[in-house]
Chains A and B, each alone.
Chain A
Amino acid sequence: MATTVQSRPRGGGGRDRLAGPFGMAALYVVLAGGALLTAFPFYYMLVTSTHRTSEILRIPPPMWFGAALQQNYAELLDALPFWASFWNSVAIAAVHTVLVLLFCSLGGYGFAKFRFPGRDALFAFLLATLMVPGFLGLIPVFIVFRQLGWIDTWLPLIIPGIANAFGIFWMRQYIESSVPAELMDAARIDGAHEVRIYWNVIVPVIVPALAALAILTFIGKWNDFLLPLLILKEEEKYTLPVALSTLRSLRGSEIGVQILGATGAILPILVVFISASRQFISGITAGAVKGV
């Protein structure tokens, strides 16, 4: 048995070995080609944001960086309050994320480590809400915000999703599988308060899950478009995507300026993603598979 396994070519014994050497080369070409197609728009974005329209529309189009970055930047700041929108987006996403981490970890902890009447039914209901598409309540929820006096404020963007079904489900899965009950029992015998147990015993253990949820939540909120578009009226309250969506009509002709604005929304998030991609992807993966 053992010799059979060992005599097999390396790696061939586990998952499917797809092809011979030529086939493997072809697979790498497919993978690399796809990765290039995926990456090219990012390269185009960086290059084009340093050119004026007259250069961009030349044939062949510029494939290397130009000298117009400063001029485009100055015009971008003229066209819209870029930095105000940028910091608005940062503030909204950051506050929202902190509250999501707090309320979803509490909810997940409640479902994972307590046995109380109605728990399973409540949890099934929570999962079912994940299947309800967002647009169904879009119009009336706008009326609700209006009744609350929340139009043209950041509250509709920050508050409704802080205890969301996805985040609670996510934290429950993690806490259930990785926090031993003995940890809490020990603390309870010592007479610790439940809030104290959450904060001193649970939170330190679930930092990896909190980190993945934080990145996911922050990116989602940063890119959120429809709701801020509906809610925000005054330009100085705009988030970055809403501000960018006005660029086409404001500065329809200067392509480099538009692309530079897009760069401002994409680059910071991309840097965050690349620096944390491993944890981030493994986080999503864990949530997805356990979710099935």
Chain B
Amino acid sequence: MATQTVSMDARARAQDRRVMWREARRNGWAYLFISPFYLLYAVFGIFPVLYGLWLSFHKWDGISPMQWNAAQNYLKLLTDDIWWYTIYNTIWLFFGATVPQLCLALLLAFIINSSTIRGKDFFRAAYFMPIVCSAVAVSLIFGSMFGERYGMLNFALSAVGIPPVDWLGSAAWLKPSIAMVTVWQWTGYSMIIFLAGLQAINLELYEAARVDGARTRDVFWHITMPLLRPVILFQVILSIIGAMQTFDLPVMLAGGTQSSAPGGTDRAGLVAAVLLYWTAFKYTEFGYAAAMSFVLFFLIITFSYTYNRFQGRNPTE
């Protein structure tokens, strides 16, 4: 009797061990399956960021030995007028392009989401087309449409009596031009994301509100907007990150990558990522450029955090 219990215990334990061993072997496979990301991210993600931080405290042209520079790069940045002007341009483009783009996208998403609108698929696809296009190719097309004397846009304006504008050649109009192309290219994408958020809202909530006699406006402010808030928050934060490192469109519309003076007339189109590229790879000031990238990162975090705090408060509560 007693010996039988012991042997049953032993058998159960052996069974347990077999199960655990099988579990461990299976887990081994799971670790193997997910390991490529961590290996690649260690080499091409974490290491470069840490190395970049180290680099930002050095003076280095990429070839000769690095010189320890303490915080000189950061101190120099604080008083670098060109750098702060590129930050101004970048923020200008955020408010001049990204914010209108997001508002427009939200408006279009509301309209298309309305149950009485037909042809939803068509409109979604039509508005989405620009985002699948290469920014370089897009800037060649708009570069021609923005031509000063004979461009399509000035021709259209002249039809309603507006004198021609030097879109890409004048310091005053370069940023608005970049903003227009950005809005053209990105509105559809944001709209799709907002639309997805709207369609995920449970229809029964609307039903219940209607049954309780809520008006359209109340439904909008007390059901739609609060439920859409996480989606908006998500999209705005991603847009801040994207806008602060925008490169392709500004560099191409402001004279291209082979231009000797980046940013076009009076550097009006010079954004942070373009100056960073030029500083590192044309002027070969790697340490200084690395410091720029960390200041830019700090600004992104600050803006995202501020926005998060700002939108985190619920106006309907």
Contacts and interface: CB of A to CB of B under 8 A. Distances in A.
Contacts of B297: 133, 136
A241 B136 contact: yes
Contacts of A138: 48, 276, 280, 293
Interface in B117-146: 117, 121, 123-130, 132-138, 140-145
Nearest to B300: A133
A95 interface: no
B33 A133 contact: no
B144 A48 contact: yes
By secondary structure, the B interface counts as helix
Interface stretch (B3-11, B37-45, B91-99): B37-45
A3 to B, nearest CB: 12
Contacts of B192: 281, 284-285, 288
A226 B112 CA distance: 35
B126 A140 contact: no
Nearest to A197: B29
A288 B297 CA distance: 24
Interface string B11-45: 00000000000000011011111101110110111
A270 B210 CA distance: 42
Contacts of B134: 222-223, 225, 240-241, 244, 262, 265-266, 269
Contacts of B280: 138-139, 142
Given A139-B52, A139-B293, A262-B140, A246 B114 contact: no
A249 interface: yes
B48 A34 contact: no
Contacts of A222: 134
A246 to B, nearest CB: 7
B31 A116 contact: yes
Nearest to A286: B196
A27 B43 CA distance: 51
Interface stretch (B74-82, B171-179, B216-224): B216-224
B177 to A, nearest CB: 13
Interface stretch (B245-253, B261-269, B309-317): B245-253
A17 B196 contact: no
Contact of A18 (B126, B188, B216): B216
A247 interface: yes
A266 B62 CA distance: 36
Given A17-B216, A144-B44, A136 B293 contact: yes
A114 interface: yes
A265 B45 contact: no
B72 interface: no
B64 interface: no
Nearest to A262: B137
B144 A266 contact: no
A149 interface: no
A18 B116 contact: yes
Contacts of A45: 141
B281 interface: yes
A34 B108 CA distance: 9
B132 A269 contact: yes
Contact of B203 (A15, A57, A261, A289): A15
Contact of B273 (A39, A135, A270): A135
A61 to B, nearest CB: 5
Interface string B46-59: 01110110010000
A194 interface: yes
Task: State the main secondary structure of chain A at its contact with B.
Answer: helix
Interface in A135-158: 135-144
Nearest to A1: B211
Interface residues of A, number: 110
B100 interface: no
B236 interface: no
Given A14-B206, A132-B49, A135-B245, A39 B129 contact: yes
Interface string A82-116: 00000000000000000000010011011100111
B195 interface: yes
A131 interface: yes
A27 B113 CA distance: 12
28 contacts: A4-B211, A13-B207, A16-B216, A27-B114, A44-B141, A61-B155, A106-B34, A110-B31, A116-B31, A117-B27, A132-B45, A135-B296, A136-B49, A137-B48, A137-B49, A139-B48, A140-B290, A144-B48, A144-B51, A165-B37, A226-B247, A262-B140, A262-B141, A265-B133, A266-B137, A274-B125, A277-B128, A285-B195
Interface of A: 1, 4-5, 8, 11-18, 24, 27-28, 30-31, 34-35, 37-39, 41-42, 44-45, 48, 56-61, 103, 106-107, 109-111, 114-117, 119, 122, 126, 129, 131-144, 159-165, 168, 194-195, 198, 219, 222-223, 225-226, 229-230, 240-242, 244-249, 255, 258-259, 261-263, 265-266, 269-270, 273-274, 277-278, 281, 284-286, 288-289, 291-292
Interface of B: 26-27, 29-34, 36-38, 40-41, 43-45, 47-49, 51-52, 55, 62, 108, 110-117, 121, 123-130, 132-138, 140-145, 147, 149-150, 152, 155, 184, 187-188, 192-193, 195-200, 203, 206-207, 210-211, 216, 219-220, 224, 230-231, 234, 237, 241, 244-245, 247-248, 252, 256-258, 273, 276-277, 280-281, 286, 289-290, 293-294, 296-297, 300
A-B pairs with lowest CB-CB distance, top 10: A137-B48, A110-B33, A114-B30, A262-B137, A163-B36, A285-B196, A140-B48, A57-B150, A116-B27, A11-B115
